[in-house]
Amino acid sequence: MMFIAAGWITVLLLAGGFALDRTLTNLVENNFDEQLEYNLNAMLVSAEVDELGEVWFNRPLADQRFLEPNSGLYWQISGEGYDDYPSRSLWDRTLELKDEDFDDEINVYASDQFPSEPLRIAERTVILPGSDVKWRFAVAASQEEANAQLSSIRSILVWSFVILGLGLFLLAVLQNRVGLRPLRRVRQAIQSLRTTGANRITEPLPLEVQPLVEELNALLAHSEKQAEEARTHAGNLAHALKTPLTVINNAATAKAADLPDTVIREATTMRRHVDHHLARARAVGRRAIGHARTPVCESAQAVQRAIERLYPEVRFDLDGNKQAKVAIERQDLDEILGNMIENAAKYGGGSVFVTVDAEAGSEQCVIWVEDDGMGIPEEERIRIFKRGARLDTDKPGTGLGLAIVRDVAEIYGGSVELTESEDLGGLLVRLSLPRAG
């Protein structure tokens, strides 16, 4: 930021200095030319032609430098057939005028005919009353004084702009240091998080960086929540695997006759537990990548085709908004719907009804999965979401299906509720998922 500020200050000051130099130079030159034209007009007003046809002044010119030799201010009158009539200040020199056609306008131009004395000449060709001769009146002045004035002005400009540039750069440095001071305080606050073990930035900071602090605190809270969830799931997985491993170890120690069956059964249970926690981990990872857009009907139809092969005797019906999309990855939606529909087919009475976007006016996309089974008593609907909880132990399973549905849905900001189906009389699972924007 300081380099950019220094660069822009330099560019702007150079551009401004150049423009100001040109403006002041033009003002000095215009003023110099106006003085020449004033003297030239004074000559023209005072000039007359005598009886011999020569030009003379009826009154002396006001500027005394015309009478001082080599004073730097000269005049000269020239006419065809007459000798040049110079001022005394020219002494033994003659002005060499441009050889141009007759022009009654004043012409001003530079000349270097005198060594080490640059001149500025103003001339005009006129015909005086009582004469037919074209007289050329010329006034010349040395530019040394004007050049000295310009040099003095440029010197003042350069030093003024250098001091101004340094002042502006120091101001930019001071502004950057003062403006970025809150960020240094944020850095110190973050450093104190590591040294003191605090989990939030509570130090009062300026309003300019308060949104940054709030986002940082939100990130810390999110990270803390994820770490706590990871510890919880690691503990849950360890606890879930502990019982099957104990059963296998006891059966192997006792050399039980059904050891192979016990190993297969408990290994299946452990695999389901591992799959459950892997599903949660994948859902968390995919949610962090970005917002997905998954059509609900396509996922439900794919799951339905797979379940129909496992339960060919069950009748499936799918209805609702075929254009509905939810902000969840396709694989996770398949996992959720697969568990819900499989449970309905397994524990129902032979009919499963799936309604997509059943509550069209709600902010979230609501999916109903109904069956005609015995349902779940209201007092058991909370316990059934616990890992390993099963109401019907006669059929194979691990009791993880609804737990997976609830956990993955909550990761994406959704929810799952159990109620009674008014149409089929069995269980109605109400799944709410965020709509895809």
| Per-residue pLDDT at 428 | 92
Residue 246: CA atoms inside 13 Å, Cβ hemisphere, count? 6
Which one-letter amino acid corresponds to residue 383?
R
Check the CA dihedral 171-173-174-178 and report its sign: positive
Q: SS3 letters for 253-289?
A: HCCCCCHHHHHHHHHHHHHHHHHHHHHHHHHHHHHHH
Those residues with Cβ within 8 angstroms of residue 22's Cβ, 6 or more apart along the chain or in another chain:
none
Locate the domains of the chain by residue range: 2-148, 212-289, 294-434
- Write down the architecture of domain 294-434 according to CATH: 2-Layer Sandwich (3.30)
Q: Which residue has the tokens 């609702």?
A: 320
Name the fold adopted by 2-148.
Answer: Beta-Lactamase (3.30.450)
Check the CA dihedral 165-170-173-176 and report its sign: negative
Whole-prediction pTM: 0.45
How confident is the prediction along the chain (437 residues), in pLDDT tens digits per residue? 888 888 999 999 999 999 999 999 899 889 999 999 999 999 988 999 888 888 888 888 888 998 999 899 999 998 888 888 899 999 888 888 887 666 678 888 989 888 888 999 999 988 888 888 888 899 999 988 888 888 998 899 899 999 999 999 999 888 888 888 888 888 888 888 777 777 788 777 777 778 888 888 888 888 887 777 777 767 767 776 787 888 888 888 888 888 888 888 888 878 877 776 776 666 665 555 456 789 999 999 999 999 999 899 999 999 999 999 998 888 888 888 998 899 899 888 899 999 998 887 788 999 999 999 888 888 777 777 664 444 444 444 434 467 778 888 888 889 999 989 888 889 999 999 998 86
The β-bridge relationship of strands 85-86 and 294-295 is unpaired
The tokens for 340 are: 């819900």
Q: Which residue has the tokens 């104990």?
A: 246
Q: Report which of 325, 392, 319, 385 is spatially closest to residue 352, judged by C-alpha positions.
A: 319
